[in-house]
Chains A and B, each alone.
Chain A
Amino acid sequence: MLNDVKIAGGAMTPFNRRKDGSSFRDWSRTAVSGALKDASLEPRDIDMLVVASESDFFTLQLNPAALLADECGLFGVAAQRAEGGGASGHVAFHAGVAALAGGMAKRVLVLGVEPSASHLKGADVGALYALSFDAWTDGMTGVDATSLYALSAQMFMQRTGAKHADFAQIAVRNRQNAGLNPYAHLPLDVSIDDVVSSTLVAAPYHRLDCSPLSDGAAALILARAKDLPQNGQTRASVKGLGNSTDRVRLGERSDPGYFAGKREASRRAFSMAGVEVTDIGLAEVYDSYSGAQLQALEALGLVEDVVAAERSGMFAADGAMPVNLSGGLLGQGAPVGATGVAQVIAAALQLEGRYWGLRPAKAARFALVDTHGGIATLNTVSILEAP
């Protein structure tokens, strides 16, 4: 059981494709200074930095934690980099909590950053992402992420009866949710017809079913209440963490359409938090593809029949379980290292009643955050509690 670990503050840059000449170092400074200001802390108050960045191929900077500590004025801090594919930001968050819980630090700054959009051509990024799976059997054959997600989605559809229209509804809703998020990459007002008529990438997925490549950074600060101004009374707490892997090769899973590793990560998080599924009032879920959101919600165990729940409107802002009010990856965007950090920030700010975007109809006491790397191969789940 975690006790008394607070999310003291958080900030993010816009997630988009940068065309202003700014660099990932600039975005990092912006996010870090924003998080410090939000937490009413100074750089000298931080004694540990955890940096999330998926790949040196994006930044072309090895040892980024030391560099970014230096560039962000966090001189002399303990520093490390955390990586878990698409879950890197969330893995870094867990590493920060673990450092606090283990007494290794008093105030940890978690920084996620990735220039996923502007540094390399899209095809090159796609080739790198393909190495997130078993590179020897998949990535080097040219088996790309979208194709693997598509195969998994097909198996999910066969088992559950989900239709592409269900996926398209998520693609629409998450983009609409992003409309009130000033940091979102794709706050689009699109229709199901727009999704269906967008370019077919890999059946069942069309272009608008896919999350974008984004640039950006996000940072948050973790500390125990006693080490924060006003004891962090207005800040959300970390209640439970869970992490679990699944078989890397999709074909080796007993059901390639089911995210079994995510189910275990969720079970572990709920067990640590000591709460029930019915206690969760909102969720930020890893929607790298529209159908993956439904697959995630199924595996997280938040509902019995995920397809029926989707069709009932349960996951809308005015539903019983609002999901991805930030817009998720589909709407807010996906600069990989920053993605999980931004998810945690969104959930924490929602619980604190000060989120900058779409709010749930009913205030939540507990929120769940879900991120994964590979195709739900490395799964990371956190449960937060309102102050």
Chain B
Amino acid sequence: MKQSITLDYTLPEGCLQPHFEALRRGEALASKCGACGHVAFPARVLCADCGSDALGWVTLPGTARVSCRTGGAEKGVALVRFDGADAMSTVALKNPEIAGETGKLSVPENSEAGLWLLLDTVTAKGDGNV
């Protein structure tokens, strides 16, 4: 038998709504622990380090350095460390054809969830980004 279901979800983002709203503006809003100072990006509802729920918000510059990456020219995924964050993040690469080691948070297309990174284009000297 054949069966097809189209499911159209609405997912409330709860306590993390400010984080996801910022992502949709291309801004890196991280959570910062009021107890130990740990900065989490993506944001968390509990501190990843000490478990405290005394969290506030801090805006990061959105720049990141790639630790490792995989995928091909059409699709890329990377582990990166955002400047100001205390742990790494998994990002989808917006321009995986670029071999850059740094990038900046990018606005997701079509209001998709998650983190998207636009890799910097390395100049001929290899010491600058455009």
* Residues of chain A having any CB pair with chain B under 8 Å: 60, 134-138, 140-144, 147-148, 150-151, 154-155, 158, 200, 202-203, 247, 249-252, 256
Chain A CB within 10 A, most for which of B40, B42, B72, B77: B77
> Given A138, A147, A252, which contacts B71 in the complex, CB threshold below 8 Å?
A147
Which single residue of chain A is at the shortest CB-CB distance from B86? A252
B113 within 8 A of A: yes
Asked if residues B92 and A141 are in contact (CB atoms below 8 Å), the reply is yes
**Known contacts being A251-B87, A251-B88, is A141 close to B113, with CB within 8 Å?**
yes
We find that the number of chain B residues with CB closer than 8 angstroms to chain A is 32
Nearest first, the 10 A-B pairs at minimum CB distance are: A141-B114, A251-B88, A140-B113, A147-B77, A150-B70, A202-B70, A141-B92, A154-B68, A251-B89, A252-B87
C-alpha spacing A249/B48, complex, angstroms = 10
Cβ contacts under 8 Å, B5 to chain A: 60
- When distances are taken between beta carbons in the complex, the residues of chain A under 8 Å from B68 are 151, 154-155, 158
Q: Select which of B48, B69, B70, B114 is within 8 A of A137 by beta carbon.
A: B114
Q: Which residue of B lies closest to A143 (CB)?
A: B77
B55 within 8 A of A: no
| Most A C-beta atoms less than 10 A away, residue of B42, B69, B114 | B114
B86 to chain A, nearest CB (A): 9
List 9 other contacts, CB 8 Å, given A60-B5, A137-B90, A151-B78.
Answer: A136-B11, A137-B89, A137-B115, A147-B70, A147-B77, A158-B68, A250-B88, A251-B87, A256-B88
Is B3 at the interface (CB under 8 A from chain A)?
Answer: yes
Q: Say whether B114 contacts A140, CB under 8 Å.
A: yes
CA distance A200 to B67 in the complex (A): 20
Beta-carbon nearest neighbor of A151 in chain B: B79
In the assembly, what is the distance between CA of A134 and CA of B11, in Å? 14
Residue of B nearest to A250 (CB): B90
B residues less than 8 Å from A256 (CB atoms): 79, 88
Indicate if the CB atoms of B70 and A138 lie closer than 8 Å.
no
Residue of B68, B92, B108 with highest tally of chain A CB at under 10 A: B68
A66 to B16 Cα, complex, angstroms: 37
Q: How far is the CB of B87 from chain A (nearest CB, A)?
A: 5
